[in-house]
Structure 1
Amino acid sequence: MTDAALAAELAAGAGRILLALRAGRRLEGKALGAEADRQANAFLCEALRRERPLDALLSEEEKDSAARLSAGRCWIVDPLDGTREYGEGRDDWAVHVGLAVNGAASDGAVALPALGLVLRSDSPASMSMPHRRPQMLVSRSRPAPEAEAVARIIGGELVGMGSAGAKAMAVVRGEAEIYLHTGGQYEWDNCAPVAVAQAAGLHVSRADGSPMRYNNPDPYLPDLLICRQEWARPVLAAFASL
């Protein structure tokens, strides 16, 4: 099985676990989110250690190990991206399974279980026609001031959405033109989405235009830009002017 196929199979499997748990209605609120993270993480980590025993692993829900830093291949996973949305019964949450090879997002899959979708790096999505005004995706609860300012400069329209994976995949699917995030993320928040977005032909970079790099000693990543190619230069210029 190829790395991309494995990522897709595991993201879909974790998604089924999460849907079944939510449908069971035994838990709610924080308890539901905690159990969802636990079950999905256990499934993903066990499978990756079985299927790719020589690769390193970085998960939001696992204790980190410095041993991964010497590995050329590191799987980076988020068992449940958008715990709040998941617990509220919304659709905009995701499962991320990504692979970084020598620091670059190489392969990956993002499952949107509530929508019945798995987007993968070996099967690029076809994008729809752009909107008249560029749609810029932001947090539905606390849009970053920088994103609001960039939207004003380029004439964009802000659209609130839940998880990072859901926002990134909305651009991949052609539902929006731009996802600019400046509020801080971690590698597991965007490794898989970046792999999928790159494969779809989108622009992917840090907010200053520098490349995304993974399997760092500190997995914190302050910012991210995923957008249609025609909007990369205007967005980067607008951000640089702030």
Structure 2
Amino acid sequence: MPATDLDLLVEAAKQAGDIACRYTGATARRWDKPDGTGPVTEADLAVNAMLEDKLQQARPDYGWLSEETEDTPDRLGRNRVFIIDPIDGTRSFAEGASTWAHSLAIAEAGEVIAAVIYLPQRQLLYSAAKGHGATCNGQPIQVSPVDDLSAAEVLAAKPSLVAQNWQNGTPPAFIRMHRPSLAYRLARVADGRFGAMLTLRPSWEWDIAAGALILQEAGGVITDRAGDRLRFNNAQPRLNGVVAGNPALHHAIITALAPAQTGPTGH
């Protein structure tokens, strides 16, 4: 990996934060996307325009996948691809909260090799390069040592706990917590604040890619809900849910999950 790829993502993320913070979330113009896929604001579009211009000028041979750019098959023929969520947690942004993030990643041959998650209003910048560990604000981070699921704080939405998602119809005992941004959830598992996270609905790659590498480089394990390795830059850029945590907690959750049912069963 070129040594400057991570530096490029860090610089771009900071510029994204400068742009997004010029908007007052609750008063930013907002639209609902077609097919109930969620809201978008003028801040999302402004950040996306800057990132697309800056990153593609810097790496014209890399493909491009972003939540706010119409997808094309061109990226499938590229060895490396940017995977971008200009603002992950748009609903929180629009409500004036601070738990939204910029999520920037570069994948090579389906595997993330550089990643940044930046929460400008919380002054938290997580980053990782494959094989070089993960940091928050320049300091090394590591997943939680808690290995007892019943004592662990796990980030999960309430629908994930419905009986049909679990062996014998009973979810395991753990302390359920929640944060609105998937990127933020993965970052907080990576830095050890929470033991694990799960989302059982199909998940967009741009919500997961950056956090996947940061968590792995912090000593964690991340797979889809079936326990299969995540691969990025798919023709249909959605993953079969996500389970992430330290090795012990990840194993405990995967073992307790029932086989996936048809259709979405949790958030």
Corresponding residue for residue 16 of structure 2: 14
Q: Residue 174 of structure 1 corresponds to which residue in structure 2?
A: 192
Q: Deviations over 1:106-165 (max 9, x none)?
A: 2111111121111001451234553971111123xx532459858x64321111211101
Tell which deviates more after alignment, 125-134 or 61-70: 125-134
Q: Which has the higher helix share?
A: 1
- Of 43, 49, 54, 1:36 maps to 43
Cα gap change, 1:49 to 1:129, in 2 (>3 Å): same
SS of 2:117's equivalent? strand
DSSP-derived class of the 2:22 partner: helix
Q: TM-score, normalized by length of structure 2?
A: 0.81
Deviation at 1:201, TM superposition (A): 1.3
Give a deviation string over 1:8-59, Cα, whole Å, max 9, x none.
2212221221112127x75365599420111010111011111111111111
**Is structure 2 residue 142 aligned with structure 1 residue 126?**
yes
After TM superposition, which residue ranges in structure 1, 4 or more long, deviate above 6 angstroms?
none
Q: Where does 1:105-120 land on structure 2 (aligned, <5 Å)?
A: 105-120=112-127
Change in CA separation of 1:73 and 1:241 when aligned onto 2, cut-off 3 Å: closer
Conserved in 1, the CA contact under 8 Å of 2:28 and 2:94?
no
Give the letter for the 1:213 counterpart. R
Do residues 154 (structure 1) and 172 (structure 2) align? yes
Amino acid at match of 2:159: P
SS in 2 for 1:47: helix
Matched residue SS, 1:143: helix
Distance 1:160 1:204 in 2: 18
Moved more, 75-84 or 230-239: 230-239
**Residue 226 of structure 1 aligns with which residue?**
244
State the shift of 1:240 in Å.
4.0
Counterpart among 169, 182, 202 of residue 220 in structure 2? 202
- Alignment-derived partner of residue 160 in structure 2: 144
Any unmatched runs of 5+ in structure 2?
A: 33-38, 135-140, 261-267
What amino acid maps onto 1:41 in structure 2? N
The answer to whether the Cα contact below 8 Å between 1:3 and 1:108 also exists between their aligned partners in 2 is: no
In structure 2, what is the equivalent of residue 212 of structure 1? 230
CA RMSD for the aligned pairs? 2.5
> Quick check: 1:8–1:119 contact (8 Å CA) kept in 2?
no
Please say if residues 136 and 179 of structure 1, whose CA atoms lie closer than 8 Å, have aligned partners that are also in contact.
yes
Q: What is aligned with 2:256?
A: 238
